[in-house]
Structure 1
Amino acid sequence: MEEGSVGIIETEKYTYPKTIELDSGKDFGPIDIAYETYGELNEEKSNAILICHALSGDAHAAGWHKGDEKPGWWDNMIGPRKTFDTDRYFVICSNVLGGCKGTTGPPSINPETGESYGLDFPVITVSDMVKVQKKLIDHLGIDQLFAVSGGSLGGMQALDWAVSFPDSVRFCIPMATTAISSPQQIAFNEVRRRAVMSDPKWREGDYYGGQPPEDGLSLARMIGHILFLSDESMRQKFGRRLKDKEEYSFDFSTDFEVESYLHYKGDKFVKNFDANSYLYITRAIDYFDLTNGGEISLEEAFDRVSAKFLIVAITSDWLYPSYQSKDIVKALQANDVEVTYSEIKSSYGHDAFLIEHGQLKYIVRNFLSRISVRDIVTDVPIVRKDTSIKKASEIMISSEQTHLPVSTKGGKLAGIITAWDIAKSVAEGRESMDKVMTGEVVTATPDESINSVTEKMKKHNISALPVVDESGKIKGIITSDIISQLFTGEKIFTENSNP
């Protein structure tokens, strides 16, 4: 089927009313968080994917704002039947802490002074950004993200999610990123910051209400954009072609098309981004180091992660070269973490993760298709054979579950009881569990493939399978609703089927 758009989107805002402790040791808050969502959250709240943006991105990842000339920054990846399929997933994207697109940052009003924070805004880290995102995810009532993904700075956030909140992420898909900012990357960031700070209009960050440092920020963006491209992409796009002239001017005006392009990018950027936010976000990138300054190894940094990983690098990326992605893979493998490594073959350089959506769709969907039962199994209350029908009904209502596994005293599966079973038993005046539960139950194992489970559901016309380990102990339940939304996009069973 043809890919679609999420349509017209409005940015939402959540205000976290308390403070968070920043890595600097300072307490900071309250915090406004700008975010957008696409698709619908399923009843189990198990289909949420968090998309993390790069340096100059924002919460508007997909769809259109009214009056805009172009869609969100990753619109080619997010939407119906796209890589992050909004017919299946509930996709979230928020503006980072320190940003300038709705989340609290240097341009925001400091409640203590009534004026913009400017340089009174605290220095932040990528981990601080993730802490704020976690507050948003908690606000949305989501205990565990199905996946978290992003490129560049977004990839750093994805990695930090898996490390800082290991039980809150099932799949981690960082792209074109690193686990430790290198000296060269820090050096480039410093040059860009100095371009901003050398502009007389910067005024030590106190330019709000006046003229912003447009020249400095434009130059910083020009430098950055060179890093995002590759030598081959610039050769293909511009070559040595002159701009609107037949010969050299023999002065310092714009001669080449590539010069004109960089000026265009710089001038456009200053209309949409805050110079101080640029300083704070690049500094956060500098500080990113999962080894905490070498206090631990990268292998030790990943020793608590529980997510499965897809690490994506770009063959022509010289800002975040592929060896840095391979270092992440090696560290994960040293911890026996399941990890897949893929490279985008592209001449576009670092920006390829924004452009090569065809390759990414194949890579990401192929990765997610390998999911097993243990990846999407849902915790569910368990009732005993001697539990009363009344008590079972109360548990079912409070947990909002339609199927409850029934266990023996040793915790092994004895059967399953459904909402239909309870309704029938109440109508017939029955009180004993073993008279109404189904004893012969089709089950799934944690390592079983989703395709296998889907076939069982179709064959037996059932909508839920208890998940049991080798000893027969109950590990949870897997429902057709989750499978339908995450994988098939369509119903695979009758609505009121009874095991």
Structure 2
Amino acid sequence: MSCQSEHTNKVSIGTLLLENGINLPNVEIAYERKGNLAGEVIVVCHALSGNQATVGSKESPGWWSEFIGPGLYVDTNRYQVITINVLGGCNGSTGPKSINPETDKKYGATFPAVTIRDMVHSQYKALQKLGVKRVKAIIGGSLGGMQVLEWGHLYPQFSEILIPMAVSPYFTDYALAYNSIGRHAIKSDPLWDNGNYSEGTSIKGMEIARMVGLVTYRSESLFNDRFKRERKEGVEIEYQVDSYLKYQGTKFSERFDANSYLILLQAMDQYDIGLNRGGWQRALERVEAKIFMLSFYGDLLYPPPLAEELVKEMKELNKDATYLHVETRFGHDGFLVEFEKWGHHVKNILERKEVAECLT
């Protein structure tokens, strides 16, 4: 008999020692917990613009609600699914919008830098508080995929399976370049005011940063086929692609805190699973969980050959690893769509069934 639960909550993990040596006090971690509370636990790590609302509700479906849910590829009738909002985020976990207990004011731009490793340590502490001692799998794409890989090194016996998607063992210079543009756009906006902007301030630089990001998330062919150089009616020099990017940029800037965005960009920029560990190949030696690595055709930010190389290195180390390259026109965003192409493979991995990989 399964017990169904639908709630989003927070858990306090106390003081967290960050990788830079700073003790961050009164840390709270927000999470969503869905599914069969008697079932095996699956942890989801979200991407840069995501949050803990993976499944969501009927009224407000989550960002992976077509992938995770009753009877879906990750079946909540069978599994308990916990998604954790990242440390430094702006959807409930301690971040720049949180109150600094030493000043009784919001941290804002004074919030300390955090790393992917800090995020994973905070998640581990949160799961311990929730009574979770070991999990079936940890899944995530992009920034979430970075966390999944880091879980494998920091807590090698915590998860049976790791499913990193749309990610590579380190953040490439090409990806760094796009983040640099976004960061410069935000910090150059006079209303950003060195991070001391007031609640509700419309920061145009944030809109530009989102517009730049959107161009990297999708493929060239998808943009060309969708917009076809169509002009916007009533506006002589504006194209539909202009209108689309402006709309998405404005919408995002209204829901996402600029200081949090900068904190998360910096964490991504610094990511290298092999940093201070003798290189990424050496870092994989500590991984004990089975890895099912997914890459997506046309991913500009996390080149599929690097993902494939990681899996090959795992095999050289006699580790249990499988690679799947997904053909898609969605590029990096492939992990958010077209679940019919790859979702059943995830389902099979969770059920320990064979998956045909595509190593070259």
Q: Do they fold alike, i.e. is TM over 0.5?
A: yes
Aligned partners of 2:330 and 2:47: how far apart in 1? 17
TM-superposed deviation, 1:40: 2.1
Aligned partners of 1:199 and 1:327: how far apart in 2? 40
2:265 is aligned, of 264, 269, 282, to: 282
Aligned partners of 1:243 and 1:320: how far apart in 2? 33
Q: TM-score, normalised by structure 1?
A: 0.68
Local SS of the residue matching 1:148 = strand
TM-superposed deviation, 1:185: 1.2
After superposition, residues 330-479 of structure 1 pair within 5 angstroms as 330-370=312-352
Aligned partners of 1:63 and 1:275: how far apart in 2? 24
Aligned partners of 1:212 and 1:95: how far apart in 2? 23
One-letter amino acid matched to 2:265? T
2:358 aligned residue: none
Find out whether 1:164 has 2:157 as its counterpart: no
Find out whether 1:194 has 2:184 as its counterpart: yes
Per-residue CA deviations over 1:14-44 (Å, capped at 9, x if unaligned) read 1112x121111111121111101111232xx
2:48 is aligned, of 49, 55, 67, to: 55
Aligned partners of 1:357 and 1:128: how far apart in 2? 30
Per-residue CA deviations over 1:210-236 (Å, capped at 9, x if unaligned) read x52520101100000101010011112
1:483 aligned residue: none
After superposition, residues 50-449 of structure 1 pair within 5 angstroms as 50-64=43-57, 70-209=60-199, 211-245=200-234, 249=236, 255-292=238-275, 296-370=278-352
Aligned partners of 2:131 and 2:8: how far apart in 1? 19
One-letter amino acid matched to 1:287? Q
Aligned partners of 2:7 and 2:228: how far apart in 1? 40
One-letter amino acid matched to 2:13? Y
Q: TM-score, normalised by structure 2?
A: 0.93
2:31 aligned residue: 35
Judge conservation of contact 2:146–2:164 (CA < 8 Å) in 1.
Answer: yes
Per-residue CA deviations over 1:374-425 (Å, capped at 9, x if unaligned) read xxxxxxxxxxxxxxxxxxxxxxxxxxxxxxxxxxxxxxxxxxxxxxxxxxxx
Judge conservation of contact 2:43–2:82 (CA < 8 Å) in 1.
Answer: yes
Judge conservation of contact 2:297–2:328 (CA < 8 Å) in 1.
Answer: yes
Larger-Rg structure: 1
TM-superposed deviation, 1:63: 2.6
Local SS of the residue matching 1:179 = coil
Per-residue CA deviations over 1:346-376 (Å, capped at 9, x if unaligned) read 101111110111122222122233369xxxx
Aligned partners of 1:327 and 1:22: how far apart in 2? 30
Aligned partners of 1:345 and 1:367: how far apart in 2? 19
Gaps spanning 5+ residues in structure 1: where? 1-5, 373-499
CA RMSD in angstroms comes to 1.8
One-letter amino acid matched to 1:325? A
Aligned partners of 1:235 and 1:342: how far apart in 2? 27
Judge conservation of contact 1:81–1:87 (CA < 8 Å) in 2.
Answer: yes
Identify which of structures 1 and 2 has the higher relative contact order when contacts are C-alpha pairs closer than 8 Å and 6+ apart.
2
Gaps spanning 5+ residues in structure 2: where? 355-360
Find out whether 1:22 has 2:18 as its counterpart: yes
Judge conservation of contact 2:231–2:240 (CA < 8 Å) in 1.
Answer: yes
One-letter amino acid matched to 1:275? A
Aligned partners of 2:337 and 2:345: how far apart in 1? 14
Local SS of the residue matching 2:254 = coil
Judge conservation of contact 1:116–1:208 (CA < 8 Å) in 2.
Answer: no
Judge conservation of contact 2:292–2:323 (CA < 8 Å) in 1.
Answer: yes
Judge conservation of contact 2:68–2:75 (CA < 8 Å) in 1.
Answer: yes
Judge conservation of contact 2:202–2:254 (CA < 8 Å) in 1.
Answer: no
Judge conservation of contact 2:137–2:350 (CA < 8 Å) in 1.
Answer: no
One-letter amino acid matched to 2:32? E
One-letter amino acid matched to 2:152? A
Aligned partners of 2:240 and 2:305: how far apart in 1? 32
Per-residue CA deviations over 1:105-151 (Å, capped at 9, x if unaligned) read 00111111111101211100011001110011101211111100000
Aligned partners of 1:307 and 1:239: how far apart in 2? 45
Aligned partners of 2:193 and 2:215: how far apart in 1? 27
Judge conservation of contact 1:318–1:350 (CA < 8 Å) in 2.
Answer: yes
Judge conservation of contact 1:218–1:269 (CA < 8 Å) in 2.
Answer: yes
Judge conservation of contact 2:284–2:314 (CA < 8 Å) in 1.
Answer: yes
One-letter amino acid matched to 1:166? P
Per-residue CA deviations over 1:431-450 (Å, capped at 9, x if unaligned) read xxxxxxxxxxxxxxxxxxxx
TM-superposed deviation, 1:277: 0.3
1:490 aligned residue: none
Aligned partners of 1:64 and 1:370: how far apart in 2? 29
Aligned partners of 1:127 and 1:328: how far apart in 2? 19
TM-superposed deviation, 1:315: 1.1
Local SS of the residue matching 2:310 = helix
One-letter amino acid matched to 2:23? D
Local SS of the residue matching 1:13 = strand
Aligned partners of 1:105 and 1:306: how far apart in 2? 31
Per-residue CA deviations over 1:292-322 (Å, capped at 9, x if unaligned) read 16x5132210112110010000012122120
Aligned partners of 1:363 and 1:76: how far apart in 2? 15
